[in-house]
Structure 1
Amino acid sequence: MTATIQSLWRHPIKAHGRESLDEVALIAGQCLPGDRVWAVAHEAARVDGTEWVKCGNFTRAAGSPQLMAISARTEGDRLVMMHPDRPDLRFDPEADEAAFLDWVRPLMPDGRAAPTRIIRVPGVGMTDSSWPSLTLCNMATHRAVEQKLGHELSIHRWRGNIWFDGFPDWAEFDWIGQQVKIGEAILQVRERTTRCLATTVNPDTGERDADTLGTLEQNWGHKDFSVKAEVIQGGQVRVGDKLELL
């Protein structure tokens, strides 16, 4: 059985915007190129930019839901950040930190630790795992959650990297410890992805409007969606490529 890659996504600044890709060159031992390159440390963070640290050190949509409505576009060494309630911002994360912080602060709720700086650790993606991961998301599983909720959901609630269609719902959970071939690349599937309150937020509006976590817990006995994988053989991956279990 094989599946087809439906879409590819990266999130240049952790929890601050998604970007669609037509193709990407995966590299062994690295996250999806351009994904979670930066993260936004808050005033209570314990981080110095020298190593990977846990997500609790960064501003995230779990506590600041309006961040979910950000989309992004890469233009050379600059990013364009877009949000329905803010003017577009074109900036260099390495040089224009103050401009970004001024842009994002109005999206933060009262009482949350304020964002203070952009962090980058060279060669390390600021994913939620201490190892270089990317997420594989099954469209059939997404549709199963929609069916239980009784309405459509945007796939962007899950902030996934590689979306595929063609396998039964929840089949990906049986792949732990196995390898998959996607386009020219081979990945090792390592673990399930436990989800947080960010998935309850509508990515179009930044408002909480769906009990995704309760739906997962009540119907399947967990709060997991998608699997995390590591690239063990690099290669080009394109929308429309096949995914097969090895």
Structure 2
Amino acid sequence: MTAHLVDIVRHPIKSIGFEDIQSAPLIQGRVLPFDRVWAVSHEAAKFDSPLTEWARKLNFVRGVAAPKLMAVTAQMQADGQITLSHPEVPALTLDPDRAEDQARLIDWLKPLWPENRPAPRAVERVEGVALADMAEPYISLLSLSSLAALAQAASTEISRHRFRGNLCIEGWAPWAERDLVGKRLRIGGAVLEVAMPITRCRATCTNPDTGMEDLEMLELLERLNGDWHFGCYATVIESGTITLGDPVEVL
């Protein structure tokens, strides 16, 4: 079966909402457009706000510290505003660049954030920099065949959104992506080079439908493959547009 692209997912605010989209222009040396543009720093962050350069993930609000955040969904509006939704709190529509809306976001996070953790502090943005876990401009790839194998081993359905990937691919053999490091992929009009596997954290133990931990994902990954890897990072080396249904070719 020919591999093809079945999901494109962006996360406008780091760790606070995921959004499925139909198409996107990939640009050489850049991340998926509008992915991790903003992030929320907490009171124990190792920098003064506003942020001026990429910073490590431990400085920001994340799902590993607050499982309820894994259940946030996002939708970007035509005017650039973002609507955040969660099963436990009313939806919030905001412009993350407006000071008054940044304050509203901090307040919106309070019931979703553990009281024993450093509190959310400020919305951060660095022009031209994605506030992702890695400083490199990576796009993350997931194999749905590997996800199905993982679900079979766990004897339960597993949402792809546990892994916060950007591009989901159907048609590879289970775990075949583990052998793609250093190889190039043509997806639609773009070419990407696979850089490295993604090492997972406990955020993947949380069900994104409920915001509750319900699966020891790291133990499961280690039992199956001897490590905590799931998916891989890739860089865009030739610009082009990608669309759901595009073939994925290993070059």
Alignment TM-score > 0.5, same fold:
yes
Match of 2:128 among 123, 131, 152: 123
**Alpha-carbon distance between aligned partners in 2 of 1:34 and 1:97, rounded to the nearest angstrom:** 17
Alignment of 1:85 with 2:88, yes or no, is yes
1:41 maps to what in 2? 41
Q: Please, what is the CA RMSD of the aligned residues? A: 0.9
Indicate if the aligned counterparts of 1:2 and 1:245 stay in contact, CA closer than 8 A: no
For residue 50 of structure 1, report the CA deviation from its aligned partner: 1.2
- 5+ unaligned residues in a row in structure 2: which ranges? none
For residue 14 of structure 1, report the CA deviation from its aligned partner: 0.5
TM-score by length of 1: 0.98
Counting only pairs closer than 5 Å after superposition, residues 203-218 of structure 1 correspond to structure 2 as 203-218=208-223
Indicate if the aligned counterparts of 1:45 and 1:57 stay in contact, CA closer than 8 A: yes
For residue 9 of structure 1, report the CA deviation from its aligned partner: 0.2
Which letter maps to 1:107? L
Alignment of 1:112 with 2:127, yes or no, is no
Which letter maps to 1:132? P
For residue 220 of structure 1, report the CA deviation from its aligned partner: 1.0
**Alpha-carbon distance between aligned partners in 2 of 1:161 and 1:14, rounded to the nearest angstrom:** 13
Which letter maps to 2:162? R
Alignment of 1:168 with 2:173, yes or no, is yes
For residue 216 of structure 1, report the CA deviation from its aligned partner: 0.5
**Alpha-carbon distance between aligned partners in 2 of 1:133 and 1:126, rounded to the nearest angstrom:** 11
- Give CA-to-partner distance per residue, 1:193-228, whole Å, 9 cap, x none: 000111000101100001111100112100010000
**Alpha-carbon distance between aligned partners in 1 of 2:142 and 2:225, rounded to the nearest angstrom:** 17
1:18 maps to what in 2? 18
**Alpha-carbon distance between aligned partners in 2 of 1:118 and 1:46, rounded to the nearest angstrom:** 15
TM-score by length of 2: 0.96
Which letter maps to 1:4? H
Q: Percent identity of the aligned residues?
A: 42
**Alpha-carbon distance between aligned partners in 2 of 1:238 and 1:153, rounded to the nearest angstrom:** 24
Indicate if the aligned counterparts of 1:178 and 1:189 stay in contact, CA closer than 8 A: yes
Indicate if the aligned counterparts of 1:136 and 1:227 stay in contact, CA closer than 8 A: yes
For residue 35 of structure 1, report the CA deviation from its aligned partner: 0.4
1:97 maps to what in 2? 102
For residue 129 of structure 1, report the CA deviation from its aligned partner: 1.0
